[in-house]
């Protein structure tokens, strides 16, 4: 029976993708080197573990949208899914290093994006859960297929600076905001009637008008 271990050693931004992408340096170790691994079709669920770090300053307010008032975080703060990743791992004799590509979203309707944006500094505790199929040859040279054990997992602390650098690379000086179609149509109508060139100018005009009414 093949026994593989996995750990994350590093992370970097993929700068030439069509959408935001992080590359995690995945270290695969074959603990049964007498059974040559030909290939691994590896899947990974990446979860965020918010209870594994401290929060200070404005983070309490900015994360209230996700977890409620800080006094309730002991009940409301739970592990949640960030993204899924998959990769085809080439032959593994003793060990192998390979990039694990993790697609990322800047959609603020997604909990993970709100979480990343709510942090001021530090890192993000991640939990990697592995699954997939292992193709190898047994002691008699016969091709075998085996599933990655469900117990295979590892932890990694993603520097917040890496996530911010990725989003700045793909969306420089920009933020993404998703609107319901009716709200978008109303905003577009207002923009055209006011003769404003961009949606940002329309939003600023509305905010300034609201601020003036409040004073």
What digits encode the pLDDT tens for the residues 161-188?
999 999 999 999 888 788 889 998 999 9
So what CATH class is 4-170? mainly beta
In this prediction, residue 31 carries a pLDDT of 94
Distance of CA 41 to the CA centre of its chain: 21
Q: Tens digits of per-residue pLDDT, 68-96? A: 999 999 999 999 999 999 999 999 989 99
C-alpha distance from residue 47 to each of 55, 62, 98, 124, 194 (Å): 18, 20, 20, 10, 45
Q: How far apart are CA 13 and CA 24, in angstroms?
A: 9
Element containing residue 125 per DSSP (H, E): strand 123-137
Going residue by residue through the chain, which has 215 residues, state the pLDDT in tens, using 9 for 90 and above: 899 999 999 999 999 999 999 999 999 999 998 888 999 999 999 999 999 999 988 999 999 989 999 999 999 999 999 999 999 999 998 999 999 999 999 988 899 999 999 999 999 999 999 999 999 998 888 899 999 999 999 999 999 999 999 999 999 988 878 888 999 899 999 999 999 998 889 999 999 988 888 77
Nearest partner of 199 among 208, 210, 188, judged by Cα: 188
For the chain, the domains span 4-170, 181-214
Measured CA to CA, the distance from residue 114 to residue 151 in angstroms comes to 29
Location of structure tokens 């085809």:
88
Q: What is the 3-state composition of the chain as percent helix, strand, coil, each rounded to the nearest 5?
A: 30, 35, 35
pLDDT value, residue 121: 92
- Return the bridge partners of 41, or none: 88, 133
Which pLDDT score is estimated for 152? 97
Torsion of CA 113, 117, 120, 126, to 10 degrees: 0
Taking alpha carbons only, the member of 33, 31, 25 closest to residue 3 is 31
- Give which of 49, 40, 46, 48 is closest to 24, Cα–Cα: 46
Q: Is the pTM of this model over 0.85?
A: yes
Q: In this structure, what token pair is assigned to residue 94?
A: 């003793």
């Amino acid at each position: 029976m093949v026994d593989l271990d996995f750990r994350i050693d590093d992370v970097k931004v993929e700068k030439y993708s069509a959408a935001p992408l992080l590359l995690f340096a995945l270290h695969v170790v074959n603990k049964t080197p007498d059974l040559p691994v030909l290939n691994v079709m590896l899947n990974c669920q990446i979860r965020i573990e918010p209870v594994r770090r401290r929060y200070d300053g404005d983070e309490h307010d900015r994360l209230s949208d996700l977890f409620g008032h800080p006094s309730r975080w002991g009940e409301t703060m739970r592990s949640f899914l960030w993204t899924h990743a998959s990769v085809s791992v080439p032959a593994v004799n003793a060990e192998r290093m390979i990039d694990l590509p993790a697609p990322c979203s800047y959609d603020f309707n997604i909990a993970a994006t709100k979480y990343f944006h709510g942090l001021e500094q530090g890192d993000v505790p991640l939990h990697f859960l592995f699954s997939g199929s292992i193709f190898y040859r047994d002691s008699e040279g016969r091709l075998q297929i085996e599933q990655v054990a469900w117990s295979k997992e590892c932890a990694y602390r993603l520097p917040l600076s890496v996530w911010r650098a990725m989003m700045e690379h793909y969306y420089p000086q920009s933020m993404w905001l998703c609107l319901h179609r009716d709200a978008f149509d109303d905003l577009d109508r207002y923009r055209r009637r006011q003769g404003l060139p961009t949606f940002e100018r329309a939003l600023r005009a509305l905010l300034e008008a609201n601020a003036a009414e409040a004073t």
